[in-house]
Amino acid sequence: MKGFSFMFWNRRLGDNSRKINLSVVCLGLVWAIGATMAACLVLGLWVLFSSSGVYYFSWLLKGASLLGTFAGGLAAGRRVQNLGWLHGALVGLTYGLVFALLSLFNGLGAFSSLDLAGRLGVYSLLGMAAGIVGINLPGSVSGRRLPRIYRQSY
């Protein structure tokens, strides 16, 4: 596990290295919502054009929302230069809160408090894991120089 990091350890990042970048969180949220909408579009077309039953469709929708959370956390972790786990967790938490607010339009009894807390926890943990994966992916992102372990020496 050499080279795996929860943060990008570089002291030359300046004063901005310990702050939360809200534009990265918003970018991750856009990726999360976009991935979920694309998955729901594919599922909707599958229901429209297939003759099979949709008995487990709610599980597929839950999987699509988890996929969206992972995509958003991954995009945030890939874009940010430090604290990928925190940015990914914030994307997951914000994404879960968006779903909670949308459920209020269905009525106040759509989620119980325990179910809502469980969903927010799962979304936050999945976003955190995706942020860790995103910050550790090799490749140059937003002009940042890569750590020595990712550079090729000739």
**DSSP states along the chain:** -TT--SS---GGG-GGGGS--HHHHHHHHHHHHHHHHHHHHHHHHHHHH--S--TTHHHHHHHHHHHHHHHHHHHHHHH-SS-HHHHHHHHHHHHHHHHHHHHHTT-TTSS-HHHHHHHHHHHHHHHHHHHHHHHTS-S--TTPPPPGGGS---
Average pLDDT over residues 87-94: 93
- pLDDT score recorded for residue 141: 54
Q: What is the pLDDT of residue 127?
A: 93
150 pLDDT more than 50? no
